[in-house]
Amino acid sequence: MTFEVREFPEFSWSFSRHKTMLTCARKYGYEYYMGHNGWLYDVEESVKHAYRLKKLTNLPMAFGQIVHELAERAVKLFLKHGHVMTQVDLIEEGRAMLNRAYIDSRDRKQLWMQKPARYKMLYDMYYEGELNRMEAEEYRGRLPIVFANLLASRSFQDITKRPQTMQFQQAEEFRFMTIDGVKIFVVMDLLYRDIEADKWVIVDWKTGKETEDDRSQLALYAYYIMQKYNAGIDEIEIRNEYVLTGVHRVYQLTETDIERMLSKMKQSVHIMRRYQLDMISNEPVDLDEFPRTKYEQRCEKCNHKEICLAQP
Ligand code: SF4
């Protein structure tokens, strides 16, 4: 596989990109433009620096990533070998992964500086030199809860109890569609066709609290299924499995939800276009033209504060 080195990043849209832009346009500039090519050996140190800071993670994010990775592994192991991972297996793996993130952050800073995508660096370890002990304990304590809820969830039970009535879609790492010429990334945790219910089921594992955005994020996934498989909106069931609380939400979307989501997405793309000097190459405007947020408290927990606050 060959990698093309692009002078500027490809323009695409995703929910996380949208959220970053709303949080702070300057942060958006650092994350989506200034660190581009920062993984290459022979680029300026400032580019590598912005790229490294983008890769900083924090405990809630690392925790969410671990739970998602293990949920995917548990589903795959069952589908491939009929093996159901136990809560004990999952907790052990989850603990080991959390510990690895801590040890990388404490002992492998130099390696992370060279290869920030391969090693983990926790935000508190980077900026404060230590973890918040209470928070670390809190997350360790959540492992048994989330894995018990994951195994008992309706989606996991459906998969393991009646797999013969389901068709699983190949996991495509990078699902995307194009709307008005813009590439839109669609990252679904699990997608299958329930033959018994005659529905497409989209599952999203959630490790945090319920938010207003959850529904519109799923509307984007539903739109993808409508486009790709020519499905009607009433043939799609979307589910949020909140593994911390064990709550399970099922939504039946309407055409209005889809229209609302599309209009929100187009509006967001329109705002993002302000930061492009060239729409084709996606060359950005100068960093100064990405305004800093006026809510200064957001800077306290921002990955990029080290470079941003040092600039006039
Ligand atoms: S430090 Fe503040 S102003 Fe700078 S990028 Fe972060 S949030 Fe924006």
What's the gap in Å between 131 CA and the centre of ligand 1?
22
Task: State the pLDDT at residue 171.
Answer: 57
What's the gap in Å between 294 CA and the centre of ligand 1?
9
Query: Angle 186-69-246 (CA atoms, 0-180°, nearest 5)?
Result: 90
pTM exceeds 0.75 for this model: yes
Residues 6+ apart with CB under 8 A from 229: 200
Look at residue 3 and tell me whether its pLDDT is greater than 70: no
CA atoms within 13 A on the CB side of 12: 14
| Residue nearest atom 4 of ligand 1, based on CA coordinates | 308
Task: State the pLDDT at residue 1.
Answer: 53
Q: What are the domain boundaries of the chain?
A: 12-151, 157-266
| Residue nearest atom 2 of ligand 1, based on CA coordinates | 299
Look at residue 174 and tell me whether its pLDDT is greater than 80: no
The CATH architecture annotation of domain 157-266 reads: 3-Layer(aba) Sandwich (3.40)
What's the gap in Å between 5 CA and the centre of ligand 1?
28
What's the gap in Å between 12 CA and the centre of ligand 1?
22
Ligand 1 atom with the shortest distance to the CA of 24 = 8
Q: What is the pLDDT of residues 27-59, one digit of tens each?
A: 999 999 999 999 999 999 999 999 999 999 999
First to last CA, the chain: 42
Q: What is the pLDDT of residues 200-235, one digit of tens each?
A: 999 999 998 887 777 778 899 999 999 989 999 999
Q: What is the pLDDT of residues 16-30, one digit of tens each?
A: 999 999 999 999 999
Q: What is the pLDDT of residues 227-254, one digit of tens each?
A: 989 999 999 998 999 999 999 988 888 9
